[in-house]
């Protein structure tokens, strides 16, 4: 059986100034120093990245960004290029979060360009997918996800995707306190792994980490992480407080 190292990732969204972010990771560094078998990542806002990177020097906590543009440079006011994230100290970049798709017009096509660009820059994309409540109620969950995955990964092959992380975030579970049940999440994750085997290859499907996101908290994390195809969590609200986030990182204890 393949062992996949769990990744507990905090997506801070539009929260924390540079100073607030530094304070948070200073505490977090101590709190998760013993979390050897679980990988920890935080994704602060762009303006806090370099300060957080400096604070994290020498710690095992990885740094991620929440978005990026696909072009390397140019007249794209307000955008951030992949190499800028690398030089700020990022190892990961979240791509295609449902809030980006919903509020900022991101599509499967732009997500695809971003994944290509992130990989070319040496960043590990955290590729977000998820269905809405209406789509789930209409029985379309798998078809919606299949389309997001196939379009998002178009033109990429398993050799390119060794560092890709997938995050399944059902839109109806984000920030709502309404978590997918362990079985609902497992059903989707197993489906996604089968899909990866079908469109890429089985070795990659077995080693690829698939995170769950949507109202993960200290009360539900253990049950979710016990499911065989859940390899970690992408956490919003519960990642902002270092004590709470540390409880998530220590879900095994």
User: By the criterion CB under 6 A, which residues form the site for ligand 13P?
Assistant: 11, 97, 169, 174-175, 213-216, 234-238
d(CA 93, CA 90): 7
121 vs 235 by CB, closer to ligand 13P:
235
How many angstroms separate the CA atoms of 237 and 249, rounded?
A: 14
> How far is the C-alpha of 154 from the C-alpha of 189, rounded, in Å?
20
Cα 8 to chain centroid distance, Å, stands at 9
Q: What is the smallest separation between the CB atom of 233 and ligand 13P, expressed in angstroms?
A: 8
Q: Count other Cβ atoms within 10 Å, centred on residue 114.
A: 25
Q: Kindly state the smallest distance separating residue 97's Cβ from ligand 13P, in Å.
A: 6
Q: Which residues, other chains included, contact 165 with Cβ-Cβ below 8 Å and sequence gap of 6+?
A: 7, 92, 124, 125, 126, 127, 208, 209, 210, 211
Judged by DSSP in three states, 33 sits in coil
Among the options 39, 131, 169, 189, which is catalytic? 169
Which CB atom, from 7 or from 234, has the smaller least distance to ligand 13P? 234
- We find the least distance from the C-beta atom of residue 201 to ligand 13P, in angstroms, to be 28
Q: Which of 39, 69, 97, 99 is catalytic?
A: 97
Residue 247 vs residues 8, 37, 42: alpha-carbon distances, Å: 11, 15, 15
Q: Whose Cβ is closer to ligand 13P: residue 82's or residue 170's?
A: 170
DSSP labels, 87-114 = HTT-SEEEES-HHHHHHS---HHHHHHH
Q: How far is the CB of 235 from ligand 13P (least distance, A)?
A: 5
CA angle at 158 for the pair 153 and 162, rounded to the nearest 5°: 95
Query: Nearest residue by C-beta to ligand 13P?
Result: 236
Site of tokens 């020097």: 57
Q: Which CB, 48 or 200, lies closer to ligand 13P?
A: 48
CB of 113 to ligand 13P, least distance (A): 21
- Select 105 or 177, whichever has its Cβ closest to ligand 13P: 177
Examine the residue annotation and report whether 169 is marked as an active-site residue of this protein. Answer: yes
Six-digit token pair at 66?
């929440």
Q: How far apart are the first and last CA of the chain?
A: 23
Cβ closer to ligand 13P: 204 or 214? 214
How many whole angstroms separate alpha carbon 94 and alpha carbon 72? Answer: 17
Q: Residue 243 catalytic?
A: no
Residues labelled catalytic: 97, 169
């Amino acid at each position: 059986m393949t062992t996949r190292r769990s990744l507990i990732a905090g997506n801070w969204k539009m929260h924390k100034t540079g100073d607030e972010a530094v304070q948070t990771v200073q505490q977090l560094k101590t709190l998760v120093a013993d979390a050897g078998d679980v990988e920890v990542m935080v994704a602060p806002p762009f303006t806090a990245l370099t300060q957080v990177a400096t604070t994290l020097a020498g710690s095992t906590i990885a740094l991620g960004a929440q978005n990026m543009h696909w072009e390397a440079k140019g007249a794209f006011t307000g955008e951030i290029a992949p190499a800028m994230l690398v030089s700020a100290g990022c190892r990961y970049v979240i791509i295609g979060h449902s809030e980006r798709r919903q509020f900022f017009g991101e599509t499967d096509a732009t997500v695809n360009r971003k994944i290509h660009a992130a990989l070319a820059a040496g960043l590990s994309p955290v590729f977000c997918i998820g269905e809405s409540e209406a789509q789930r109620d209409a029985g379309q969950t798998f078809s919606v996800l299949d389309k997001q995955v196939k379009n998002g990964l178009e033109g990429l092959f398993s050799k390119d995707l060794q560092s890709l992380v997938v995050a399944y975030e059902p839109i109806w579970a984000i920030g709502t306190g309404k978590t997918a049940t362990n079985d609902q999440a497992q059903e989707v994750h197993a489906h996604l792994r089968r899909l990866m085997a079908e469109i890429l290859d089985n070795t990659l499907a077995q080693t690829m980490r698939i995170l769950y996101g949507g109202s993960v908290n200290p009360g539900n994390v253990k049950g979710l992480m016990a499911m065989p195809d859940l390899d970690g969590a992408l956490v919003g609200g519960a990642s902002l407080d270092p004590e709470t986030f540390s409880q998530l990182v220590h879900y095994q204890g």
